[in-house]
């Protein structure tokens, strides 16, 4: 047989051997030459090779080309370039057959490439990443990754002994995406990408930015999984969640760090699995009456101490607790219990781990090159380049992915302030002004607006929440009105002010009364969430209960009153795990909550008051339906700092059951306190945080009081009540004149 080799084969195989060939499909696989079809294959450690037809018939023997693992065959004249073939290989007395990856066409269509180049591919996760598929009747995995500045990109894994010479990828120059279909691979395959940077330097192996599953840390490989295999069972929830997630719906959120909510001490203190969390956490939250669970970030992250706020695998639920479908089981359980799920989502920064996004293709691809724009000095993390369309596409598609693939109900967007301001936590000279000379990050602002527009368009039953700690205006107002488009905003000012007040000795509270009242000056400027989050029980701040003054009884009484004040204040509610039973130790991500405390009467009483607050809150529209409407709130008595008393009215403007709230933030019992009320009738004591049921002293009003036609506090009627020490009362009206005023 004539020599099948052609001029340039030796040089081409040398480039393949040294992993410097930037166009493997231009050299490997079948190619039409003037005198027929030539097939080239890189087969190191193979002794002999032949080309066989799909039915196993011999087509051509391959000849070795030099010592660089190259093999070449010329097909018979009647065989076309599109003929299906396999390679039969032999080495060390063993024979086997393989598909040639370089005979398969590109898996990316023209429209996909066009949308990727423009940064407008909303379902880019359907194309990039690793996808088990069938191509030309052959099963395998289609890999694709964006790395426009790399000289060469290869898929590596156990299947090719992590050898970057075996599976170099095809580049689509217009969009900077490299792709390759590798036959005979399937679910469970571990892989990474090996990249040769623009300067010819080999980069550390990179995890797939679009990986849908990852190895369990500390291992860092990406894992192939097949999507769309889970049978959801939450149709009822999905069909009605728009009402449950609305601004005028009741919303009390239980914030959870899955790795430390509860562990298995009898099994070396291991994490609970997603399945075990579905069995334990979901009924617990439902029993307490919370409407939503908020998860600290579960996108795969390498460092436990980041609590998930430094994610690497944005498309993969962390493998610490199980598989992606196991996570879906957890979501399903939440929805079937009538509980929405909010995911903490981190688009503001990412870590510098070598296998992550940093210098992904040898350039500052995802991050800004200038550290004055691209690095958070406080956190040691990198900042996304929101001026690059492909980066914004990556993040927007990721947000859509969680809502679509995992039925997530809401995204709480972390560290929004750090995105809005170019000078966030920077001194003069450490930041670069925008084109107008200002401090606003115009690209990030545009990204956040567009993100919210897309999410609400694609998933109208979901919502977004901004953790925004400044006075940036209209965060939770629609973009068409000039807002950022979020559904809600964390009220950080309320949290700081009220915690400061509660931490004061009662004798000094008279001088800080405005800490409780100031929030009402801006309470209706945004759709607020009142957060007592994980940030308030770490870094030496201590637990909530430890921050309350006084002896043990006073600490518990104060915290019960604080919770009741929070639950009756305008705004949705968020409480970090452990607060509901007054965890005494500061939160540690490495240990379970102190569940043994729940057997103590005072700790159990805290759980009981949370349960009752949630119950009365959910069945009293006045406490939630007007959170963003000033007509639903009015002060009765806000000018009594000497006695540290607050009283206010929550109501539904169009009629409904009012709620009168009275707080006494001193340890003194106040008898004969006359309080103005809007109408006659019987005012039932719906909750009294001093009840003995909660561990209180049981001072109260025998279940309620009858209004008298005596004007007070500018209202036509009044009640005379006893105010228990360090307590909050909620009085609810029955029908006017239902009980005589005699």
State whether 722 and 680 are in the same domain: yes
Rounded to a whole number of angstroms, the CA Rg of the chain reads 32
Asked if residue 703 has a cis previous peptide bond (ω within 30° of 0), the answer is no
Residue among 208, 255, 414, 637 flagged as catalytic:
414
Give domain status of residue 158, yes or no. Answer: yes
pLDDT per residue as tens digits for the range 557-589: 999 999 999 999 999 999 999 999 999 999 999
- Is the residue at 213 inside a domain? yes
DSSP state at residue 219: -
Q: Which of 300, 409, 467, 497 is catalytic?
A: 467
Residues 97, 122: one domain?
Answer: no
Q: At 42, which CATH number? A: 2.60.40.10
Measuring CA to CA, how many Å separate 721 from each of 567, 658, 724?
A: 21, 18, 10
Does 474 reside within a domain?
A: no
Assign residue 636 the CATH number of its domain.
Answer: 2.60.40.1180
Regions of the chain with pLDDT less than 50: 1, 735-742
Burial readout 109-124 (b: 16 or more C-beta within 10 A, e: otherwise): eeebbebbbebebbeb
User: Which of 168, 193, 223 marks a domain boundary?
Assistant: 223
Does 639 share its domain with 687? yes
Extract the tokens encoding 2: 């004539």
Same domain? For 186 and 162 the reply is: yes
Note the pLDDT of residue 114.
94
Q: What is the pLDDT of residue 259?
A: 96
CB atoms within 10 A of CB 408: 20
Structure tokens at 34: 């003037």
Tokens in use for 119? 């940064």
Q: Is residue 421 part of a domain?
A: no
Burial class (CB in 10 A: 0-12, 13-18, 19+), 697: middle
Residue 576 lies in a domain: no
Residue with tokens 């009320």: 677
Q: What is the CA angle 28-30-33, rounded to 5? A: 105
Write a three-state SS string for 525-539.
CCCEEEEECHHHHCC
Asked whether residue 82 is domain-assigned, the answer is yes
Domain final residue pick, 81, 103, 125: 103
Is residue 414 among the annotated active site residues? yes
Same domain, 97 and 131: no
pLDDT of residue 5: 66
Residues 70 and 142 reside in one and the same domain: no
Total domains, the chain:
3
Q: Is residue 361 part of a domain?
A: no
Q: Which residues, including other chains, have CB under 8 Å from residue 145's CB and lie 6 or more apart?
A: 128, 129, 153, 169, 177, 178, 179, 193, 208, 209, 210
115/212 same-domain check: yes
Within a domain: 468: no
Expressed as residue numbers, the domain containing 127 is 110-223
Half-sphere exposure in the Cβ direction for 489 (13 Å, CA): 28
Q: Please identify, among 223, 249, 281, the residue that sits at the C-terminal boundary of a domain.
A: 223
């Amino acid at each position: 047989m004539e020599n099948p080799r052609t001029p340039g084969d030796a040089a081409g195989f040398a480039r393949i051997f040294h992993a410097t060939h930037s166009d493997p499909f231009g050299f490997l696989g079948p190619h039409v030459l003037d005198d027929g079809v030539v097939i080239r294959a890189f087969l190191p450690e193979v002794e002999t090779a032949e080309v066989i037809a799909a039915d196993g018939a011999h087509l051509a023997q391959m000849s070795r080309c030099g010592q660089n693992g190259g093999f070449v065959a010329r097909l018979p004249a009647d065989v076309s370039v599109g003929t299906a073939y396999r390679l039969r290989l032999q080495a060390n007395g063993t024979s086997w057959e393989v598909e040639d990856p370089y005979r398969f066409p590109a898996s990316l269509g023209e429209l996909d490439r066009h949308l990727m180049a423009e940064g407008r591919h909303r379902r880019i996760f359907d194309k990039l990443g690793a996808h088990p598929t069938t191509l030309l009747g052959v099963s395998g995995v289609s890999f694709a990754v964006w790395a426009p500045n790399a000289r060469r990109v290869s898929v590596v894994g156990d299947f090719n002994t992590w050898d970057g010479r075996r599976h170099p990828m095809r580049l689509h120059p217009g969009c900077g995406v490299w792709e390759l279909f590798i036959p005979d691979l399937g679910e469970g395959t571990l892989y990474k990408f090996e990249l040769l940077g623009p300067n010819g330097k080999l980069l550390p192996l990179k995890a797939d930015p679009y990986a849908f599953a990852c190895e369990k840390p500390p291992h860092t490989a990406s894992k192939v999984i097949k999507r769309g295999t889970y049978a959801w069972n939450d149709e009822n929830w999905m069909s009605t969640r728009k009402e449950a997630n609305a601004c005028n719906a009741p919303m009390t959120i239980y914030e959870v760090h899955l790795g430390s909510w509860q562990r298995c001490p009898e099994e070396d203190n291991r994490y609970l699995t997603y399945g075990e969390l579905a069995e334990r956490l979901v009924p617990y939250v439902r029993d307490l009456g919370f409407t939503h669970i908020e998860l600290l970030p579960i996108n795969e992250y390498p460092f436990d101490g980041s609590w998930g706020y430094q994610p690497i695998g944005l498309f993969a639920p962390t493998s610490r607790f199980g598989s992606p479908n196991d996570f879906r089981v957890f979501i399903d359980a939440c929805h079937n219990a009538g509980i929405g799920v909010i995911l903490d989502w981190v688009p503001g920064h990412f870590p510098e781990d070598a296998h992550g996004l940093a210098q992904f293709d040898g350039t500052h691809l995802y991050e800004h090159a200038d550290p004055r724009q691209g690095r958070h000095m406080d956190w040691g993390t990198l900042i996304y380049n929101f001026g690059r369309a492909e980066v914004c596409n990556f993040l927007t598609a990721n947000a859509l992915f969680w809502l679509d693939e995992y039925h997530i109900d809401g995204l709480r967007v972390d560290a929004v302030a750090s995105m809005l301001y170019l000078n966030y936590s920077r001194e003069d000279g450490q930041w670069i002004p925008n084109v107008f000379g200002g401090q606003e990050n115009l690209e990030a602002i545009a990204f956040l607006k567009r993100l919210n527009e897309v999410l609400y368009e694609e998933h109208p039953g979901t919502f977004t929440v901004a953790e925004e700690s400044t006075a940036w205006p209209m965060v939770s107002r629609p973009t068409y009105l000039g807002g950022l488009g979020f559904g809600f905003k964390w009220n950080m000012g309320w949290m700081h002010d009220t915690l400061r007040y509660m931490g004061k000795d009662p004798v000094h509270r008279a001088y800080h009364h405005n800490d409780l009242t100031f929030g009402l000056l801006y309470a209706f400027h945004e759709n607020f969430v009142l957060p007592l989050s994980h940030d308030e029980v770490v870094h030496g701040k201590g637990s909530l209960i430890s921050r309350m003054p006084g002896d043990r009884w006073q600490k518990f009484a104060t915290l019960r009153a604080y919770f009741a004040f929070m639950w009756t204040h305008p705004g949705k509610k968020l409480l970090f795990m452990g607060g509901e039973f007054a965890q005494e130790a500061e939160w540690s991500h490495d240990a379970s909550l102190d569940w043994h405390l729940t057997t103590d009467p005072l700790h159990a009483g805290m759980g009981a008051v949370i349960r009752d607050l949630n119950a009365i809150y959910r069945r009293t529209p006045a406490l939630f339906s007007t959170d963003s409407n000033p007509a639903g709130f009015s002060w009765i008595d806000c000018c009594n700092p000497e006695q540290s008393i607050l009283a206010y009215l929550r109501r539904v403007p169009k009629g409904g059951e009012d709620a009168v709230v009275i707080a006494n933030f001193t340890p003194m019992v106040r008898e004969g306190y006359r309080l103005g009320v809007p109408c006659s009738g019987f005012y039932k004591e719906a909750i009294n945080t001093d009840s003995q049921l909660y561990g209180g002293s049981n001072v109260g009003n025998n279940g309620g009081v009858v209004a008298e036609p005596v004007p007070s506090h500018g209202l036509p009627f009044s009640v005379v009540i006893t105010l228990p020490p360090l307590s909050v009362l909620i009085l609810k009206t029955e029908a006017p004149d239902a009980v005589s005023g005699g």
